[in-house]
Chains A and B, each alone.
Chain A
Amino acid sequence: MGANGWERGKRTANRGSPDRPADKIQALRTASPARGGEGEKVSPDPSQRPSPEPSPGLVRGFAPFAATLLVLAFGVTALGAGLLPTEWKQPAFLVALAVLVVVAGVVFESLRRTTASAVSARREADDLHQSEEMLKVAVESAPVGLGLADSTGRWVLVNDGLGTILGRSKLDLAQTSLLSVTAPESAPILQEGLDHARSSSARWEGEIVQIRADGTHVPVSLALLAVRHDHEEPQLVLVQESDISETRRSEAVNDALVAVRHAVATSATWDQAAPSVLSALGARLGRDVAQFWSLDADRQELKLAQSWQGDDPELADFERTCRAIGLPPNDGLLGRARLAGVPAVNTAVSPQSEPALGSAAWHAGLTEAVAFPVVAGRDVNGVIALFARHPQAVDDAVMTMLTTVGAEVGQFIRRAQTAQTLQRSEADHRAIFEHAPIGIARVSAEGDLLEANAALLEMLEHDLETLRTQAWPELLRAYDLAAGRASLAPLLAGLSDGGSVQVRAATGGGRWLWLQMTATSIPDERGKPEHVLLMVEDVTRVRETQDKLAEALEAQRSANTDLEKLDRAKTEFLSIVSHEFRTALTGIQGFSELIRDGGLEPDELRAYGGYIFNDAERVNRLIGDMLDLDRMESGRMTMRSADVDVNEVLSDTIARASSSNLVEFKSDLDPRLPIVTGDRDRLVQVVSNLVNNAVKYSPEGGTVTLSSRAEGAYALITVADTGLGIPPDEIGHVFERFRRVRSGAAQSIAGTGLGLTIVKQIVEMHGGKIWIESALGHGSAFHFTIPLAPETVAPAAQLRHA
Chain B
Amino acid sequence: MTVLVADDNEVAQRLCRRVLEKAGHKVLTASDGQEAVNIALGPAGAPDMILMDVAMPGMDGLEAMRQIKAQKPGLAIVIASAHSMASDRERFLAAGADEVLSKPFKLTDLTSVVDRLAVHKAEA
Interface residues of A (CB under 8 A from B): 575, 578-583, 585-591, 593-594, 597, 611, 614-615, 742-744, 746-748
Find out whether the CB atom of B82 lies under 8 angstroms from the CB atom of A579: yes
Taking a contact as CB atoms closer than 8 A, the residue among A579, A581, A585, A587 that contacts B55 in the complex is A579
Task: Tell me the bound Cα distance from A614 to B11 in angstroms.
Answer: 10
Interface centre among A581, A583, A742 (most CB of B within 10 A): A583
Q: Which of B14, B56, B57, B58 has the most CB of A within 10 A?
A: B57
B8/A582 in contact, CB under 8 A: no
- What per-residue 1/0 map shows which CB atoms of B85-124 lie under 8 Å from chain A? 1000000000000000011111100000000000000000
Contact A591 B15 (CB under 8 A): yes
Partner among B9, B11, B56, B85 whose Cβ is within 8 Å of the Cβ of A575: B85
CA distance A578 to B15 in the complex (A): 20
Q: List B residues at the A interface (Cβ < 8 Å).
A: 8-12, 14-15, 18-19, 31-32, 55-58, 82-85, 102-107
Are B107 and A594 in contact (CB-based, < 8 A)?
yes
Q: What distance in Å separates the Cβ of B9 from its nearest Cβ neighbour in chain A?
A: 6
Known: A579-B83, A587-B12, A748-B31. A742 touches B58 (CB 8 A): yes
Q: How far is the CA of A588 from the CA of B19 in the complex (A)?
A: 14
Are A747 and B82 interface neighbours, CB within 8 A? no
On whether the beta carbons of A586 and B8 are closer than 8 Å, the reply is: no
Note all chain A residues with C-beta closer than 8 A to B12: 583, 586-587, 590
In angstroms, Cα B102 to Cα A611, docked, is: 20
Determine if A590 and B9 form an interchain contact, defined as CB atoms under 8 angstroms apart.
no
Chain B residues with Cβ under 8 A from A575's Cβ?
Answer: 83, 85
Nearest CB of chain A from residue B34's CB, rounded to whole Å? 11
Residue pair A590, B19 in contact (C-beta under 8 Å): yes
Q: A589-B104, A747-B58, A748-B8 are in contact. List 5 more A-B contacts (CB 8 A).
A: A579-B55, A586-B103, A589-B106, A590-B104, A615-B11
Whether the Cβ atoms of A593 and B56 lie closer than 8 Å is no
4 closest A-B pairs by CB: A742-B57, A747-B57, A582-B82, A587-B11
Q: What residues of B have a CB within 8 angstroms of the CB of A744 in the complex? A: 57-58
Contacts known (A586-B12, A591-B15, A611-B14); A747 close to B32, Cβ less than 8 A: yes
What is the distance, in angstroms, from A750's C-beta to the closest C-beta of chain B? 8
- Among A580, A581, A589, A746, the one with the most B-chain Cβ atoms within 10 Å of its Cβ is A589
Chain A residues lying within 8 Å of B84, measured Cβ to Cβ, are 578, 582
Q: How many A-B residue pairs have CB under 8 A?
A: 74
How far does the Cβ of A743 sit from chain B's closest Cβ, in whole Å?
A: 6
For residue A590, which residues in chain B have a CB less than 8 angstroms away from its CB? 12, 15, 19, 104-105, 107
- When C-beta atoms are compared, the residue in chain A nearest to B110 turns out to be A590
B57 A743 Cβ-Cβ under 8 A:
yes
| Residues of chain A within 8 A of B85, CB atoms compared | 575, 578
A586 and B15 in contact, given A593-B106, A593-B107 (Cβ under 8 angstroms): yes
The docked-state distance in angstroms from the alpha carbon of A594 to that of B105 is 12
Chain A hits for B31, CB < 8 A: 747-748
- Whether the pair A746, B104 counts as a contact (CB closer than 8 A) is no
Given contacts A579-B83, A743-B58, contact A588 B8 (CB under 8 A): no
**A589: which B residues are within 8 A, CB to CB?**
104-106
The distance in angstroms between the C-alpha atoms of A578 and B31, with both chains bound, is 21
Complex-state Cα separation, A582 to B55, whole angstroms:
12
From B32, which residue of chain A is reached at the shortest CB distance? A747
CB distance from B101 to the nearest CB of A (A): 10
Contact A578 B106 (CB under 8 A): no
Q: Can you report 9 A-B residue pairs in the complex whose CB atoms are below 8 A from each other?
A: A583-B103, A586-B11, A586-B105, A590-B12, A593-B107, A615-B11, A747-B56, A747-B57, A748-B10
Closest partner residue, chain A, to B108 (CB atom) = A593
Closest to A618 in B: B11
In the bound complex, residues from chain A placing their C-beta under 8 Å from that of B19 are 590, 594
**In contact, A611 and B104 (Cβ under 8 angstroms):** no
A611 CA to B31 CA, complexed, in Å: 18
CB of B24 to closest CB in A, whole Å: 16
**Cα–Cα distance between A506 and B121 once the two chains are bound (Å):** 87
Q: Are B8 and A747 within 8 A (Cβ)?
A: yes
Note all chain A residues with C-beta closer than 8 A to B18.
Answer: 594
* CB-based nearest A residue for B13: A587
Known contacts A590-B19, A593-B107: A746-B82 contact under CB 8 Å:
no
Q: Which residue of B lies closest to A583 (CB)?
A: B82
Minimum C-beta distance from A591 to chain B (A): 6
Contact, CB under 8 Å: B15 / A587 = yes
